[in-house]
Structure 1
Amino acid sequence: MPNGVSLRGQLLGWLLLPLFLLLSVAAFLVYSETVKLTTLAYDRALFDSTRALSRQVQVRDGRIEVDLPAEARAILRYDERDTIYFQVKDAAGRVIAGDHDMPVPPAALHRVDLPIFYDAKLNGRSVRVAAVFIPSPLGTGTGETLIQVAETVFKRDSIMRDALVGIVVMQLCILASTALLVWLGVRQGLAPLDGLQAEIASRSHLDLRAVPERDAPLEVRPLVRSINDLLQRLEANIDAQRRFIAYAAHQLRTPLAGIKTQAELALRETTPQAMRHALEQLHISAERATHLANQLLALARAEPGALSETHFCRLDLTRLVKEASIAWVPEALSKGIDLGYEGSSVEVMVRGDPLLLREMVNNLLDNAIRYCPPGTQVTARVMNEGRPTLVIEDDGPGIPAPDRDRVFQRFYRAVVGDVGGTGLGLAIVADGAKAHGASVRLESLDGASGTRITIVFPPAQE
């Protein structure tokens, strides 16, 4: 639908324009039929005069004469509006009776004992002529006698004009009446949409209740259902944002309070050794706050709908995982953990956001290194067995079975030793995978210990 055009205007246009065309065609057909019937009626009357005149043709002393008294001539020529002309010619072309300047019938119409009708000019005026050729009477020679009667066309033109005006006025009245009925019908038919618009417009931005479907027309109910689905998703998203803000505020409050406390303690200390200890604790609290803030930013980036696929690009998952693994080697060595890479050495292309994919890999490696004790192994793998696949596994203590379905929730932390964390790492992984159309699977290596997290990506399109 073009911009700025209402549905009511579209409906009226699609209904009234064809109606106008149909009425115009009907008016033309009616006018054409009226002209045809009027012409036929006047032509028959004109030909009747020709036939009556032909019956007055007689032979006297071997010559053709017309026995037409003065009263009969007056009756023949009488008409209230038009002028009547007549003519009788013998086979030699001599005018026996009537007007001498009558036009000659077109040669193409010449036929005997059959009516001939044609239009012509007489004394500068338009006339309609009815003519007939009759065989010459016996004893007058061979050939045909021509009898013609003509009349001006004032009555005909007047009737045509009156018919045209009547038809146009009638069709305009029909069009106006129909247009009014169509407008009322469209208005009444669209009234439920006005009610729906008023229902939605009257709500505040906090009112996300479903729009009632019972009063909506059947054709509009799919639209109402789509709006209700959108409102439901929006309400769920807003609730998730509220919970996220509440959780984030709660999580940030603790490290910030710790930073403030450690700073106050450092200010009260007088000895360098005590002041150093307070500053070390302040540094640890600042690192935790920084890590939590970074996790919150990454989680916000991984939010469903926060990323647009128009910003995705093709990238090599193998190279990305290798670079991330190399970056985490120093941290793994400091904790006595063997971190390595196995799997594909060739390009495994995926389509996605580089920053978010790197954040997902970093969170998986961070979780594995954070929760594994010294002497364990952490392995990163990239495979392409029909679909690009990323696997991060370790032989650490594993995740208890009751917690495996909950570790991907925000701010949820499984009870595995006394290890600090934000409870956002795997939530970022889950949201990031969803944003890339990937699936995430968590499983134990031997049923009790060890953890394997597998992410399967859709094939990268060219």
Structure 2
Amino acid sequence: MQTIKPQSLFGQLLLFLGLPLFILWGFSAVSSYLSAMNAATQAYDRTLLASTRTVAEQLVVHDGKLDVDVPWVVLDSFERNMNDRLYYKVTDTQGKVISGYDDLPDMPENTPGTELYPALAWFYNATYRGQELRVARLLQPVNEGGVNGMAQIIVAETVQSRYYLAVRLLASATLTQGGLVLLTLTLAWLLLRRVLKPMRQLSVQMVRRDPGDLTPLPDLLPWSETRLLIVSFNRYIESLRGVLARQSRFSADASHQLRTPLTVLKTQAAVALSSPDPMQWRESLVAMQTTLDSTIHLTERLLQLSRLSRLDQTERQAMELVDLVKIAQACCFSSMAQARSKNIDLGYEGLDEEWITGEPVLLAEMCINLLDNALKYTPENGVVTIRVTRDETQFACLEIEDSGPGIESGLVRHALMPFHRLDNSAAQSGAGIGLALVNDIARYHRTRPELLRAESGGLLVKIKLAAV
């Protein structure tokens, strides 16, 4: 059998909680960076567009030519951020550069226009002199002094400030969310230590517990989700304690019951060996045979009783459809010789068939034991009747009625216990197992025997079984 390596529940819970938190933290950091970069881009794009508009306002027409005058004061206002450099280019309606950097890259084809501003404006990224640029392009209509068309204003700036702003926003979000993650894990760590402390205490007690200690477990787990576990375990311990007690009592009683016939056998053998008379030998052998028959019968009952006490739920479910009438009639026929030996009127009454779900061997054993008990305690020339009927609740009823001395109502509970023989018929001998075995077989079929007073004054045993 493969041994499973034990794992830490504390570590598993922290990993189950912490790993998703760190993944979400990383996903949130990337999302925050992208959001921050988008926000910085929009903010600086607005400044770039304002710069192009400022330059567009400086467009003038002199002597039929478009010109632009960008004062240094205006350029200085564009370059307040000392982290970036600003570049611009202005072309007239003919596409001729009239101011700025001639080699500033033009807009790539198929660049979509912006929908954020009511202007003929475009934004795009470019590389200039080994630097990354963010470029704003504005088309300005000109219709003055004979000049008609669109002038183009391009303003570009490096992107260091954008990255700087995005990194600052990312750092702020990361620190805030990271603090929340660490706080959550810290609180989870403290909570798990507190929650698992009773389980550690219970584990220590279980390890130090004596293997034979069957006392209930202390209620160390205060949570409603685990209370059922302790209750179930204590119920199992109580059931195990009962099983062990019954086994111990059964072993003691069985050894006592077997010791008596073995002692008798030894005495009978000693008598035969000490006598030279062959007739005495024969009498001793006959007596030994009778003792052996009763011992074999007792041993079979003991084994049957022991097997019933060990049946588990899986075996209990292995039942089949059987005809209770056929079982009762067969048992009645097999007990006929015992009835004739005492001139007892033994017969069957009731239904022609009655199907139930049960274990046929055990049901037959129950009938045989009931008939044996009835025939044993019924005096000579008495009456024993076995019946199979159906009552008003649609249950099949197995009844065995005799004309013997019966059982007083106060002694019914003792009559169903193993090795408890009643003293209402001193002429009979036995170990007191028959009715106890009947009781166990009935419990196996989820019912119980009823010991009632018959109309004749004898005993009426009634067992209700679920009919099909």
TM-score (norm 1): 0.87
Contact 2:124 2:136 in 1 (8 A): no
Partner residue in 2 for 1:337: 344
**Count of matched residue positions in the alignment of Structure 1 and Structure 2:** 457
> Do residues 16 (structure 1) and 18 (structure 2) align?
yes
Residues 451-462 of structure 1 mapped to structure 2, 5 A cutoff: 451-460=459-468
Quick one: distance in 1 between partners of 2:335 and 2:324?
Answer: 17
Distance 1:387 1:397, change over 3 A: same
Within the candidate set 424, 442, 446, 1:437 is matched to 446
The one-letter code of the counterpart of 1:56 is Q
Deviation at 1:329, TM superposition (A): 0.9
Equivalent in the alignment of 1:116: 121
* Aligned equivalent of 1:392: 400
The change in CA–CA distance for 1:67 and 1:298 in structure 2 (over 3 A counts) is same
* Superposed displacement of residue 380, structure 1: 1.5
Deviates more, 1:28-37 or 1:245-254: 28-37
**1:242 alignment counterpart:** 248
Distance 1:188 1:353 in 2: 53
Aligned AA (1:356): L
Does the CA contact (< 8 Å) of 2:33 and 2:167 recur in 1? no
Between the aligned partners of 1:314 and 1:236, the Cα distance in structure 2 is 32
Q: Distance in 2 between matches of 1:3 and 1:42?
A: 58
Residue of structure 1 equivalent to 2:411: 403
The amino acid of 2:54's aligned partner reads A
Q: Which residue of 2 aligns with 1:373?
A: 379
1:200-215 equivalences under 5 Å are: 200-213=206-219
Q: Which residue of 2 aligns with 1:131?
A: 137
Unaligned runs of 5+ in 1: none
Which one-letter code corresponds to 1:415 in the other structure?
A: D
1:368-395 per-residue CA deviation (whole Å, 9 max, x = no partner) reads 1111112112112223452232111122
- The normalised TM-score by structure 2 is 0.86
Residue 55 of structure 1 aligns with an amino acid whose one-letter code is: E
Distance change >3 Å, CA 37–CA 360, structure 1 → 2:
same
CA separation in 2, counterparts of 1:71 and 1:421? 127
Q: Which residue does the alignment assign to 1:425?
A: 434
Alignment partner, residue 334 of structure 2: 327
Give aligned-pair identity as a percent. 33
Aligned residue in 2 for 1:223: 229
Quote the offset at 1:428 in angstroms.
Answer: 0.6
Secondary structure of the corresponding residue to residue 87 of structure 1: strand
SS at match of 2:205: helix
The answer as to 2:66 corresponding to 1:91 is no
Could you tell me which of 188, 193, 196 is aligned with 1:190?
A: 196
* Residue number among 252, 262, 274 corresponding to 1:256 in the alignment: 262
* 1:272 maps to 2:278: yes
Partners of 1:196 and 1:216 within 8 A in 2: no
Secondary structure, counterpart of 1:266 in structure 2: helix
Say whether 1:309 aligns with 2:311.
Answer: no
Match of 2:54 in 1: 52
Deviation for aligned residue 1:75: 8.6
Give the one of 408, 416, 424 matched to 1:416: 424
Q: CA deviation at 1:56?
A: 2.7
Query: What is the 5 A alignment of 1:68-79?
Result: 68=70
Partner AA of 2:37 in structure 1: V
Correspondence for 1:31: 33
Measured at CA, do residues 341 and 116 of structure 1 come closer, stay the same or move farther in structure 2, by a change above 3 Å? same
2:418 aligned partner, one-letter code? R
Distance of aligned partners of 1:70 and 1:398 in 2 relative to their CA distance in 1, 3 Å threshold: closer
When structure 1 is superposed on structure 2, of 96-105 and 398-407 the one drifting more is: 96-105
The answer as to whether partners of 1:370 and 1:419 remain within 8 angstroms in 2 is yes
The one-letter amino acid paired with 2:343 is: G
In the alignment, which residue of structure 1 is the partner of 2:106? Answer: 103
Whole-angstrom distance in 2 between the partners of 1:136 and 1:32 = 39
Shift in CA distance, 82/337, structure 1 to aligned 2, threshold 3 Å? same
How far off is 1:261 after superposition?
1.1
For the pair 1:287 / 2:287, whether they are aligned, the reply is no
1:333 & 1:3 partners in 2: Cα distance? 69
Instruction: Quote the Cα distance in structure 1 between the aligned partners of 2:132 and 2:107.
Output: 14
Deviations, residues 157-207 of structure 1 (Å, cap 9, x unaligned): 566567657766775665455434423421321110111122223221322
Q: Is the CA contact (8 Å cut-off) linking 1:133 and 1:146 kept in structure 2?
A: yes
Q: 1:199 aligns with which of 193, 202, 205?
A: 205
CA gap of 1:236–1:70, structure 2 versus 1, over 3 A, is closer
Contact 1:129/1:150 (<8 A) preserved: yes
Per-residue CA deviations over 1:112-145 (Å, capped at 9, x if unaligned) read 9637342243558653211223331522433332
Amino acid across the alignment from 1:414: L
Check 1:149–1:322 CA distance in 2 against 1; reply closer, same or farther (3 A cut).
same
The one-character-per-residue Cα deviations of 1:301-335 (angstroms, maximum 9, x if unpaired) are 22264562243222222222222211111111112
Letter in 2 for 1:242: S
Equivalent in the alignment of 2:366: 360
Aligned-pair CA distance for 1:366: 0.5
Supply the AA of the counterpart residue of 1:114.
A
1:32-57 Cα shifts (integer Å, max 9, x gaps) = 33112221232233234323322332
Q: Which one of 294, 306, 309 corresponds to residue 300 of structure 1?
A: 306
> CA 1:186–1:117 in structure 2 vs 1: closer, same or farther (change >3 Å)?
farther
